[in-house]
């Protein structure tokens, strides 16, 4: 039996994904905390001249964007870890079929098989 057709995923394969996702979770949490501290530091630095304020606002916007992206990615990682815990990892949320090992390897947080994801992106209903 090939791994690409294995459904559900073998426990050793799940453990690998779980370990990788937990590592991502830790890294994202650290990055979020670091960015939050940087944002607070900029906010606490007090008023400056117009140029300093302009540069500070630009830096804050970039940090907020990074913070938001990391929070979004963290939610996806946590959802994938929840799916592992409940036994739903690797199962398409839309059709209930196997997502496929290659897709999960490329995108461990994938919630849908490639066909359902393509339909979703095209605005089609399953």
C-alpha to C-alpha distance for 52 and 47, rounded to whole angstroms: 8
User: pLDDT tens digit string along 96-118?
Assistant: 999 999 999 999 999 999 999 99
For 58, counting Cβ atoms within 10 Å of its Cβ (0-12 exposed, 13-18 middle, 19+ buried), the class is exposed
Q: What are the sequence ranges of the domains in the chain?
A: 3-121
DSSP-derived 3-state class of residue 12: helix
Task: For residue 47, give Cα distances in angstroms to 59, 96, 121.
Answer: 14, 55, 45
**For residue 43, what are the contacts with CB-CB under 8 A and spacing of at least 6?**
60
DSSP-derived 3-state class of residue 104: helix
CATH of domain 3-121: 1.20.120.910
User: pLDDT tens digit string along 76-102?
Assistant: 999 999 999 999 999 999 999 999 999
DSSP-derived 3-state class of residue 76: helix
pTM (2 d.p.): 0.78
Eight-class DSSP state of 7: S
């Amino acid at each position: 039996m090939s791994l690409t057709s294995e459904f559900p995923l073998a426990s050793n394969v799940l453990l690998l994904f779980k370990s990788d996702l937990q590592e991502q979770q830790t890294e994202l949490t650290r990055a979020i905390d670091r960015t939050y501290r940087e944002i607070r530091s900029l906010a606490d630095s007090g008023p400056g001249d117009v140029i300093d304020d302009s540069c500070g606002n630009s830096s804050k916007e970039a940090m907020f964007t990074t913070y938001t992206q990391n929070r979004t990615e963290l939610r996806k990682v946590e959802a994938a870890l929840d799916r592992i815990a409940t036994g739903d990892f690797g199962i398409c949320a839309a059709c209930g079929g196997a997502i496929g090992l290659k897709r999960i390897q490329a995108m461990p947080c994938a919630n849908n098989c490639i066909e359902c994801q393509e339909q979703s992106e095209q605005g089609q209903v399953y």
